[in-house]
Chains A and B, each alone.
Chain A
Amino acid sequence: MFLVEFLIKNGRAGIDFSSTIGRSGIFLCRSILGLSLGPKGLKLLAKQIYMVGVLSLVIIVVSGLFIGMVLALQGYNILIDYGSEQAIGQMVALTLVRELGPVVTGLLFAGRAGSALTAEIGLMKATEQLSSMEMMGVDPLKRIIAPRLWAGFISMPILAVIFSTVGIFGGLLVGVDWLGVYEGAFWANMQSSVNFQEDVLNGLIKSLVFGLVCTWIAVFQGYDSVPTSEGISIATTKTVVYSSLAVLGLDFLLTAVMFSSI
């Protein structure tokens, strides 16, 4: 009897889970192609890029700076035992460009922009703005969701690249100005070991993938939320948790595919 109950409960959970995935997939397909490219559509897109990207700049730049500085500090402590402290430039650069840039930006993005998106859309659902838009014959997927999706896709790679750049400068600050590594060696070692196609581009691809996944989760959770204040709070939490796990999981997969052959 217990086994049957267990199966029933988990079976239902399994079906619920699959239907949520299915709903979110259909949702993505319907919205992503819905962005209108006319002047109105681009205006909506610009506003969303501002909300999602530009407003995240502060947290990204500050975090990037600190992480770059910490990397240089810690890296120096380790490398100096091998007498290789001149390699600090390449250590900071590779770590940022390949991994920390896309991943940390993804996590910060999920927390800041993702939760804001979920809350906004959830609130629009709760105050029946989405329903009234539908009743007026305007598809909310095209008007509200699509610009936010595309804003996320576009902003994430930009933020990741800015993060890496600022981080490298942070590393420069600590490594050269503070710890006394030769500036020439810093840049020269970096340049010889960082490859554009393999490192920078792969990092860019990662951030594109993370942008897609984080924005999709954020927007869907808002759209699918229960239209009460408790429902929105649950949806926002889900966004941050799922996005973060997705970023870390996908990072592992992508790293294994992209970098294991080196």
Chain B
Amino acid sequence: MDSYITINDLHFTRGHRSIFNGVTLHIPRGKVTAIMGPSGTGKTTLLRLIGGQLRADSGQILLDGQDISQLGRKALFDARKKMGMLFQSGALFSDISVFENVAFPLRAHTKLAEDVIRDIVLMKLQAVGLRGARDLMPSELSGGMTRRVALARTIALDPELLLYDEPFAGQDPIAMGVLVQLIRLLNDALGLTSVLVSHDITESLSICDHVVILADGVVIGEGSPTELKKSDSPLLKQFLNGLPDGPVPFHYPANDYKTDLIG
């Protein structure tokens, strides 16, 4: 497998909690990879580590051969031109219009002429189906539209890597369907490597080529969706089938029920 991202033996602690305890995984080039796991396992943290916003305690994070954790501030900012991250809330700049939001990375990193920028912005907005909304302000957009505009902004500089942080959270079925389609289409049409972090099993598994499941700070399963569905691991089974009780217990640790009530 040709890996775009390779993570070797990653360790990361926040405060006293150790989030990653020797995580090793591969993200294949040109494919859609889903990173899943129970709440609080640090999936968003992993994205931030890949993007260089956080620094690992030890271990390697290789992006197309470059070790992200070794880069200085300036080199890191340059490396980020090749990647795009879609945040959970869209994170559009609230004081400028949709058009200006999508144009932002172009204005910041290129010296293109104004009409060229205009054309690029319109093309990106067209790709997400929101070319007509270009003069609206972010406060006037619905949740789904906000995310689509944010997606257009993320692909403005034609990155090689796209990171999605919980793209399906809180979306209505139509908006969800749109996003699911867009993620797959963009990945194939532009030859990108996409990594999405999500709880949503059905949607994620329907579009991804490769799955990584994290729990308790380590990788508990990695492979294609079909491979994982056939797995025997009880934790994987519980997670993939959404079973309420299993290795992740239903009851929070407590005293004996009878004694609590009566004794």
Contact = CB atoms under 8 A, between A and B. Distances in A.
A and B touch in the complex (CB under 8 A): yes
Contacts of A128: 87-89, 91
Contact of B87 (A132, A137, A138, A139): A132
Contacts of B104: 136, 138
B80 A135 contact: yes
A127 B94 contact: yes
A143 to B, nearest CB: 8
Interface residues of B, number: 24
Contacts of B87: 128, 131-132
B258 interface: no
Contacts of B105: 136-138
A134 interface: yes
B115 to A, nearest CB: 18
B89 A139 contact: no
B77 A137 contact: yes
B152 to A, nearest CB: 13
Interface string A129-155: 101111111110000000000000000
B89 A127 contact: yes
A136 B94 contact: no
B171 interface: no
A127 B80 contact: no
Given A129-B94, A131-B53, A138 B108 contact: yes
Given A129-B93, A129-B94, A131-B53, A137 B85 contact: no
A40 B202 CA distance: 46
A95 B140 CA distance: 50
A2 to B, nearest CB: 24
A137 B85 CA distance: 11
Contacts of A132: 85, 87, 91, 150
A134 B79 CA distance: 11
A133 B108 CA distance: 10
Contacts of A129: 91-94
Given A127-B94, A129-B94, A136 B89 contact: no
A132 B102 CA distance: 12
A136 B53 contact: no
Interface in B61-111: 77-78, 80-81, 83-85, 87-89, 91-94, 104-105, 108-109
B108 A137 contact: yes
A127 B91 contact: yes
A132 B163 CA distance: 12
Interface of A: 127-129, 131-139
6 contacts: A127-B94, A129-B93, A131-B53, A132-B85, A135-B80, A137-B108
Q: Report, nearest first, the 10 A-B pairs whose CB atoms are least far apart.
A: A132-B91, A137-B80, A128-B91, A135-B85, A128-B87, A137-B77, A138-B108, A136-B105, A137-B81, A129-B91
